Structure 1
Amino acid sequence: ATSREGLERRAAGLTAALEVGGDRLDPRAAAQATEVVERVGERTSIVGSHTVVALAGATGSGKSSLFNMLVGEPVSAIGARRPTTSTPTAAIWGDESAQALLDWLKVGRRHHVPAREGVDAAQGELDLDGLVLLDLPDFDSRESAHRVEADRVLGLVDVFVWVTDPQKYADARLHDEYLTALAGHDAVTLVVLNQADRLSVDDAEACAADLKRLLAADGVKDVEVFLTSATTSAGVVSLEHRISTVVKGHHAAEQRLVADVRASAERLREGVAEQEVRLGNRADQRLVEALGRAAGIPTVLAAVERDYRRSATAHTGWPFTRWARGLRPDPLKRLRLDRSRDRKATVSATDVRLVLGRSSLPPASPAARSAVDLATRDLGDRAGEGLPDRWAEAAQEAASPPDDRMADALDQAVMQTSLRGRTPWWWSIVGLLQWLLAAVAVAGLVWLLVLMAMGWLQLPEVDTPQWGPLPYPLLMLAGGVLIGLALAALGRVLGRVGGRRRRRLIEKRLHEAIDTVARERIVAPVQQVLTDHRETREQLQIARG
């Protein structure tokens, strides 16, 4: 027996698989599965313990006659040559109301069969309370409306009783369109070979054996075949008792719905692979490098190095020529990246970069964009390896976000990365020495000018201290200038060394920032596709049981 809890668990698994799989599942199979989930909810919400058993068959198979014999009254009209049943007819056993169920089935013709008990020496007690027996229109009727109505009701009933006869038991429509499609519904399927009175006993048994063979070929292996005759009543009691057993079990509805859920899960499972590849959480080096080139990282690093050298010269250069250096453009300011002071720096709300949202970095070159395309395509191909087409396409699409969004994300990553570091301690020391040397040189120059003025005015000569043959004022002037220039040259050398070190530091920061963008904008969406694929497979496994 199948429990209501087991059915709900499977239906929940199918629902979760549909939600997670989304448009990456086969649309037709997904639509059928959605109908099954809705049908499970509708059927289980109906109060009562009725079991709906439908007599379905081709024109002339005698199902209406069999229906009347099971009911005990001529409820359903019988036609000898052409289809007579145009709408389903229901017969209800027991006192419990089946109105809500029949309204859901949209069956208007209803007949209540009074409760009765029959005893058969061979079969035992007969109890059909709770049975709702339907006589359906012929599924091969010449009237298309009859066929549509039969198919509609067959999609809702709990138990199928396929009524055929010795002439049509091998009918392709019966086997290809119904029995094969319901191959997983063995537990709620009965097959009746009616009009057995037209054959001898041996011929009837041979037809039944051949019918079982055809059923096995259809995938319906554990189904009992009843030989009946609506004319002589032969086999009808056995069929009644088999239906009684189904009704007393009170699980036919759950069994039918579980079979539907399982069949839908099997169809969806065809669009899901056995496993998916495993990708690391970090982006591969090739992708990060390609994104870095597209983000203009080489341009930024060159500007960082030039900015360091410029700042070093501004702090350690010869004071009398520093002003000329100030005329040169700030490399980071030209790129509108000059406000990144340190990792913890905050930018005011009036920052023009926040207002405009972009830096002044040049757009990516065609070669850089091509490198990004190749790297993302390679990631998508690796993620989609072994996956069905829809999942592989989803992985490829996730690995290739829109160019404009990726360009904005890369630009923001560069803008939010600190492009400066701590001011080197030696800048202050060398700068102080430069100002001291400049002061000495200026003092020496002034001293010499005073001496020259005194000589020109022929004032009494002042004794000027000397160091060897050189007077102190000349030594102060020459020493301040020469040592200052030498110290400036040394500062430029150290500035180039420090610029390269600063470049490596900023390169590491930018690499981390680009790696974050790659993980969040490319790797994470691809990982999500793989996670969804795994979860879809697991939920379908629950639905399949």
Structure 2
Amino acid sequence: MFRRKASITERLEALRQAAELGEGLISPAEHAALVRVADAASERRALSGEHTVIGFFGATGSGKTSLFNAVVGEDLGLTAARRPTTSSPLAAVWDPQGSEELLDWLQVEDRRNRPGEFAPGSGPVILLDLPDFDSVEPVHREIATRLAGQVDVLVWVTDPEKYADSIIHDHFIRPHASHSAVTLAVLNKSDRLPGEDARRVAASLEQLLLDDGLKKVKVIRTSARTGDGVDDLRQAIAKVASAHSAQQSRIEADLQTVTRPFVAKQKLSEVTAMDKRRLDDHLAEAAGADRLAAVTAAAYRKRLGQKTGWLLTSWLLRLRADPLKRLGLREEADELGVHRSSLPQLDASGRAVANRGVRAYAEAVAAGLPERWASAVVDETEAIVDTLPEELDRAAARTKLPAQPSRAWGVFTLIQWLALLAALVGIGWYLLAAFLPGVLYPFLDDIIPTVEGWPIPTLLIVGGLLLGIVLGMFTGVFGLAIGSGVKHRTRRALRREVASISQTRVVEPLLAVRSRYLEFLDAIRRAA
């Protein structure tokens, strides 16, 4: 399936988006480059699209201005009393209509209109003679650097003595390595070399340009003094201008140059569910999941004992403090998140466990990220670990604890009361028979009836007491078994709460940095 090629407008919008996403997370120089290219391209497209702007760049003594005058066909410097040297840009303009705003944007004040057209079919052309980029005056170099980023076509003028100088290659040509389509290379003063030497030097310059990253750039040998090669240069300029695509080619080259440092970044490794589980394990341990589970189970057993234990002894359990209440915990979850438990705050060991879990997860998030983005993850991590202990404390308060026995146990409570009542009836029977024997005669012929030889009051007393004791022991043993399940459910409930906290307080903030980088990278690739 074919993918539609993005338009220049779409690519510039993507570049602006990348600049916004990368602000503060890429170097200031890189961010400035993104903004500069986006702004310059948009501004250039809003100005005259008919004119092709060609800039002549060269070092001091390269004969750049003389070559410029030779191409123009007139020594424009003779009419400029202010211009004994190339201290400010000078423009030779063919078909000047509509060029004023463009030259204002280029900040070129010295403008010379030329008659006719530069070459048949070339369309409106503006040639710029620029200050030497190795001038001792910093402002001259600044002008040359600025206009190297604005003109449509770059003409690099060198000479046999300085063609290999590092200044032109390191600071000017190499940063524009993507601009082969709008670059012309000139070896001026070639008349000073014998024919074979001139060819050898030109070939050496071509190799240097190839090493700089330029492709298919042929070196034009010229001599402003003799006029050799000037027509070749004019034809090369006319060919570029007549294509009427230099402006777009320049913008595309700028986009390629400014995005190249980012598009080759390695693919990020995935942040897996296992990384999240390890984080939750550490945070649950730090939050005291095991202790809270044990306390909840103890509270459950205490309350079950109070509810279903032998009535003659179960009241003693009420004298003991409730394990949950002692820690300021309640069964119902604190939905507002304002209740704090009395669990001790995380000690150094607990903090270390929590921090280790958060930082391990942060390492997984930062794996493969560029240095500045990884540093942003680290900064976010430090902010997280400062506030996490309080969040983990509230996790216990927000957890619904299964410490209350169900109402079904009320059946055992009823049986306990019935058993106690039976025992009391038996005791009362004997008391009545002993102290008020006449009271029972109207109802019973035998004051102490028996069943299979056992007195009924005795059976009531023994049966009631034994039933209460056995039920109490049964529910106590059963409570131990259920307590294990309560532990498990409590630990699972707290872990769910911790998982929720880790998602909102750890995972989402850290992944937001990673997602921002991925969005940045996507925007960069669309711009590229």
Tell me the equivalent position of 1:494: 478
Q: TM-score, normalised by structure 2?
A: 0.87
Q: Provide the secondary structure at the position in 2 that maps to 1:181.
A: helix
Which runs of no fewer than 5 residues in structure 2 stay unpaired?
A: none
- Structure-2 change in CA distance of 1:117 and 1:446 (3 Å): closer
Deviates more, 1:192-201 or 1:460-469: 460-469
Amino acid corresponding to residue 280 of structure 2 in structure 1: V
**1:101 aligned partner, one-letter code:** L
On the 8 A contact 1:290/1:368 being kept in 2, the answer is: no
SS of residue matched to 1:192: strand
Q: How does 1:127-526 map to 2 (within 5 A)?
A: 127-269=121-263, 272=265, 274-281=266-273, 283-340=275-332, 354=336, 356-396=338-378, 402-420=384-402, 423-424=405-406, 426-454=408-436, 463-467=446-450, 471-526=455-510
- Counterpart for residue 351 of structure 1: none
Distance 1:359 1:197, change over 3 A: same
CA contact (8 A) 2:118 2:238 kept: no
Deviation at 1:383, TM superposition (A): 4.2
Whole-Å Cα distance in 2 between the matches of residues 195 and 425 of structure 1? 105
Q: Hey, what's the Cα distance between the residues in 2 that align with 1:174 and 1:249?
A: 27
Matched with 1:28 is 29
* Change over 3 Å in CA distance of 1:194–1:117 after alignment to 2: closer
Structure 1 residue 189: deviation in Å? 0.9
Question: Would the alpha carbon gap of residues 278 and 312 (structure 1) be closer, same or farther in structure 2, given more than 3 Å must change?
Answer: same
Taking a change above 3 Å as real, the CA distance of residues 539 and 437 of structure 1, as seen in their structure-2 partners, is same
Structure 2 counterpart SS, 1:180: helix
* Segment of structure 1 superposing worse, 515-524 or 50-59: 515-524
Q: Report the alpha carbon displacement of residue 283 of structure 1 after superposing the two structures with TM.
A: 4.4
Contact kept, 8 Å, 1:282 with 1:519, in 2: the verdict is no
Find the residue that maps to 1:76 and give its secondary structure: helix
Contact 2:121 2:242 in 1 (8 A): yes
Aligned sequence identity (%): 36
Amino acid at match of 2:471: L
Find the counterpart in structure 1 of residue 526 from structure 2: 542
Q: Aligned partners of 2:132, 2:84: CA distance in 1, in Å?
A: 7
Q: What one-letter code is carried by the residue in structure 1 that aligns with 2:316?
A: A
Choose 362-371 or 49-58, whichever is displaced more.
362-371
Matched residue SS, 1:167: coil
Q: Answer yes or no: is the 8 Å Cα contact 2:292–2:491 preserved in 1.
A: no
Q: Deviations over 1:69-97 (max 9, x none)?
A: 33334323599xx9712111112211431
Superposed CA offset, 1:124-160 (max 9, x none):
xx34432121111111222222222222222211111
Deviation at 1:102, TM superposition (A): 1.3
What's the offset of the Cα at 1:316? Answer: 0.8
Q: Deviations over 1:461-498 (max 9, x none)?
A: 98413226654334433432332222222221222221
Q: Which residue number in structure 2 is paired with residue 102 of structure 1?
A: 103
Amino acid in the other structure paired with 2:482: G
1:394-435 alpha-carbon deviations (Å, 9 max, x no partner): 455556652342223333333222212784465121111111
Change in CA separation of 1:60 and 1:285 when aligned onto 2, cut-off 3 Å? closer
CA distance in 2, matches of 1:183, 1:199: 28
Contact 1:380-1:397 within 8 A present in 2 as well: no
Q: CA deviation at 1:5?
A: 5.6
Query: Corresponding residue for 1:71?
Result: 72
Deviation, 1:298, is 1.8
Structure 1 residues 285, 37: closer, same or farther in 2, change over 3 A? same
- Partners of 1:315 and 1:530 in 2: CA distance: 54
Given that 1:394 and 1:529 are in contact with CA atoms closer than 8 Å, whether structure 2 keeps it comes out as: yes
Secondary structure at 1:141 match in 2? coil
What amino acid does structure 2 have at the position aligned with 1:543? A
Once the two structures are TM-superposed, the CA of residue 49 in structure 1 deviates from its matched residue by 2.1
Match of residue 53 from structure 1: 54
Q: Please list the CA deviations of residues 213-272 of structure 1 after superposition, one character each: whole Å capped at 9, or x if unmatched.
A: 3322333241122222333333222222221222222221221222122111122346x3
For 2:148 and 2:78, locate their aligned partners in 1 and report how far apart those are by CA, in whole Å: 20
**Cα 1:217/1:498, change in 2 over 3 Å:** closer
Partner residue, 1:85: 86
2:41 match:
40
Secondary structure of 2:40 counterpart: helix
Unpaired segments of 5 or more residues in structure 1?
119-125, 348-353
Give the Å deviation of 1:42.
2.0
1:359-399 Cα distance to aligned partner (Å, 9 max, x none): 22221232222223333333333444454433444455556
Q: What is the alpha-carbon distance in structure 1 between the residues aligned to residue 273 and residue 56 of structure 2?
A: 58
The DSSP-based 3-state class of the residue aligned with 1:190 is strand
Give the drift of 1:436: 1.2
Deviations 1:501-535 (A, max 9, x none): 22212222222332333344334444444444444
TM-score, normalised to structure 1, is 0.85
CA contact (8 A) 2:56 2:155 kept: yes
C-alpha separation in 2, matches of 1:334 and 1:264: 64
Distance, in Å, in 1 between the alignment partners of 2:207 and 2:413 is 102
Instruction: Name the CA shift for 1:442/1:45 in 2 (closer, same or farther; >3 Å).
Output: farther
> Separation in 1 of the partners of 2:118 and 2:216?
29
Alignment partners' CA distance in 1, 2:161 and 2:348: 73
